[in-house]
Amino acid sequence: MIGRPASQTIDGPAGLLEVVIEEPAHAPVGLAVIAHPHPLQGGTMDNKVVHTLCRAFVLAGWRAVRFNFRGVGQSEGGWDEGRGETTDMLTVITHHLTDPALKGLPLALAGFSFGGYVAAQAHARLSEAVANRPELVAPKQLVLISPATSRYEVPEVPAHTLVVEGEQDDVVPLASILDWARPQGLPVTVVPGTGHFFHGKLTVLREVVLRHLRAAAV
């Protein structure tokens, strides 16, 4: 995709995984790993909402890493119904946390649509693992954009999670997001007048995420 850094590959559980790394203007304040929409419905790491998430994290000072799930782009392997895709995300996280420049810095996870489901799953698995392995890093931030609550069993998430949904979303309806969020007492930020892909509202989405990240850093 024109206008983004060249991709590279890392070793993954089903073969190579294609990743793109974007750096902030100064030393990063943390690592953000971002997951893309459904691979079987055209989802890739170059999706505009994923790109918007990367921009928000970079502007907030984070190193942003996006990647293609197995079987997408230069990533090897094939569709695994969310199980292997979650392992893919955990592999990308583990790989990049070995960078000495990120030692002791916080971790953020984010995802859009199916990627939101995967990010929530990865968050749950990491949080559980940290309880038994203190050397691991527990995610500090979780940002979910239209997580696929109508199609997958998205786990409960921390109270400080940012959830953003389009008012007119016909892929993951607002009612489904609210049914998932309600039992958790979890606030949902609704962007009026836009659907699942935030057409015409990507700048608004970027600012919502950026404000959240800057407020959390205070």
In eight-state DSSP terms, residue 154 is P
- Parallel, antiparallel, or unpaired: how do β-strands 8-12 and 31-35 relate? unpaired
pTM: 0.97
> Torsion over CA of 162, 27, 59 and 115, rounded to 10 degrees?
-40
Identify the H or E element spanning 16.
strand 15-22
Q: What is the pLDDT of residue 3?
A: 66
Quick: pLDDT tens for 92-108: 999 999 999 999 999 99
Mean pLDDT within 23-42: 97
Q: How confident is the model at residue 133 (pLDDT cuts 50, 70, 90)?
A: confident
DSSP letter (8 states) at residue 184 = G
pLDDT of res. 7: 97
Mean pLDDT value across residues 170-194: 98
pLDDT given for residue 90 in this prediction: 96
Identify the band that residue 33 occupies on the pLDDT scale cut at 50, 70 and 90: very high
The pLDDT confidence band at residue 79, using thresholds 50, 70 and 90, is very high
Above 80 in pLDDT, residue 189? yes
Report whether 169 contacts 190 (CB < 8 A): no
**For 44-73, what is each residue's pLDDT tens digit?**
999 999 999 999 999 999 999 999 999 999
Average pLDDT over every residue of 12-28: 97
Burial of 16 (0-12, 13-18, 19+ CB in 10 A): middle
What pLDDT score was predicted for residue 132? 80
**Alpha-carbon dihedral of residues 95, 61, 53, 91, nearest 10 degrees?**
10
**pLDDT (0 to 100) of residue 167:** 98
Instruction: Indicate the length of the chain as a whole number.
Output: 218
Domains and CATH numbers, the chain: 8-217 (3.40.50.1820)
Say what the pLDDT of residue 138 is.
Answer: 85
Whether residue 1 is predicted with pLDDT greater than 70 in this model: the reply is: no
Mean predicted confidence (pLDDT) in 66-88: 98
Rounded CA-CA distance 195/168 in Å is 4
Cα–Cα dist 149/113, whole Å = 8
Answer whether 76's CB lies under 8 Å from 70's CB: yes
Q: Rounded CA gap, 174 and 172, in Å?
A: 7
| β-strand pairing of 107-112 with 15-22 | unpaired
Q: Percent of the chain having pLDDT more than 90?
A: 92
pLDDT at 4 over 90: no
SS3 145: strand
Place of tokens 């015409």: 200
Q: How many CA atoms lie within 13 A of 188 on its CB side?
A: 23
Given a cut of 80, is residue 135 above it in pLDDT?
A: no
Across 127-152, average pLDDT: 90
